[in-house]
Amino acid sequence: MVKDNLKNIRDEMNNACERSNRNLDDITLIAVSKTKPNELIMEAYESGVRDFGENKVQELLRKKEELPDDVRWHMIGHLQTNKVRQLLGNTVLIHSIDSIRLADTIDTEARKKGIHVDGLLEINIAKEASKYGFIEEELEEILPIFARYKNLHIKGLMTIAPNVENSEENRKNFKKLKKLSVDIIDKNYDNVEVEFLSMGMSGDYIVALEEGANLLRVGTGIFGKR
Ligand SMILES: *Cc1c(COP(=O)(O)O)cnc(C)c1O
């Protein structure tokens, strides 16, 4: 099941890469394993997946404890400041930095632990009231702030696009995030790099890939309904 789903997804990614002149090796498929049991996660692992995404700190820590050491854990959900200390040191990337207060906390706690932490800025690209994240217009004011952090390093942007019927409806949103990333690179902010664009989920990962995503977060498409 999981194995077949992964094969289909990889085939589609491969086709989309050919269409859009991209290299499959530059794109990482993150299997979003939230709520899913270890047995299913291990099926994906046996099919070669090493990047897994979780949205709750406790669940991520438990699974990290129980599953192989070479799994790369991604925190993709809203992170409360009081959970930061426990999480740090257990992820390769925190995709969901959605406030300066959170960024401050991550930097402070990382300094106490003597570690460096990579994170992405979550952007509320369609300005939905229901979503976390920065909006485009506030970035100019916010981006210079990251220069003061010594232990938190910004490595890119993440967005959760609107839930749409037809994935084509999100193409404009993915284009927007890509353009934003290019503008940020041009402006050369201290301690802000845009190595990663984390966008695209089960319903729209192909469109996201075509528009420049290099981290795809796919849950349902791999593991089935939650
Ligand atoms: C759950 C989740 C996903 C995966 O969603 P699917 O539609 O199941 O692929 C991706 N990103 C975030 C932030 C999520 O919370």
Structure tokens at 55: 């949205």
Question: 77: Cβ below 6 Å to ligand 1?
Answer: yes
Task: List the residue whose alpha carbon is closest to atom 13 of ligand 1.
Answer: 76
DSSP SS3 for 178: helix
Work out which ligand 1 atom sits closest to the CA atom of 217: 10
Residue 31's DSSP bridge partners are: 52, 218
User: Is residue 167 within 8 Å of residue 204, measured between CB atoms?
Assistant: yes
Q: Residue 40: how many CB atoms within 10 A of its CB?
A: 16
pLDDT digits (tens, 9 = 90+) for 80-113: 999 999 999 999 999 999 999 999 999 999 999 9
Alpha-carbon distance values, 141 to 121, 164, 183, 196 (Å): 14, 31, 14, 21
Model confidence at 185, pLDDT cuts 50, 70, 90, reads very high
Instruction: Tell me what pLDDT residue 202 has.
Output: 98
Q: 202 in ligand 1 pocket by Cβ < 6 Å? A: yes
CB 74 within 8 A of CB 95: yes
Can you tell me the mean pLDDT for 171-181?
A: 98
Average pLDDT over residues 187-193: 98
What is the torsion angle, in degrees rounded to the nearest 10, for the CA atoms of residue 160, residue 162, residue 167 and residue 171?
A: -70
Estimate to the nearest angstrom the gap between the alpha carbon of 40 and the chain centroid: 21
User: Average pLDDT, stretch 161-188?
Assistant: 98
- Does 200 contact ligand 1 (Cβ within 6 A)? no
Binning pLDDT at 50, 70 and 90, where does residue 49 land? very high
The pLDDT of residue 126: 97
pLDDT value for 115: 98
Q: What is the mean pLDDT of residues 124-137?
A: 97
Q: How far is the CA of 76 from the centre of ligand 1 (A)?
A: 8
pLDDT in tens, 52-85: 999 999 999 999 999 999 999 999 999 999 999 9
- pLDDT at position 67 is 98
| Nearest CA-CA partner of 48 in 17, 9, 92 | 9
For 171, counting Cβ atoms within 10 Å of its Cβ (0-12 exposed, 13-18 middle, 19+ buried), the class is middle
Helix, strand or coil, per DSSP, at residue 226: coil
CA distance 54 to 214: 18
Does domain 2-223 sit in CATH 3.20.20.10? yes
> At a CB cut-off of 8 Å and minimum separation 6, what does 75 contact?
53, 54, 55, 57, 60, 87, 91, 93, 94, 95, 96
Task: Choose one of 8, 30, 49, 55 to mutate for the ligand 1 pocket test, by most ligand atoms within 8 angstroms of C-beta.
Answer: 55
Is residue 182 helix, strand or coil?
Answer: helix
Question: pLDDT category, 175, cuts 50, 70, 90?
Answer: very high
pTM score, two decimals? 0.98
> Domain boundaries in the chain?
2-223
Q: For the chain, what is the mean pLDDT?
A: 98
Residue 78 φ/ψ, nearest 5 degrees: -55, 130
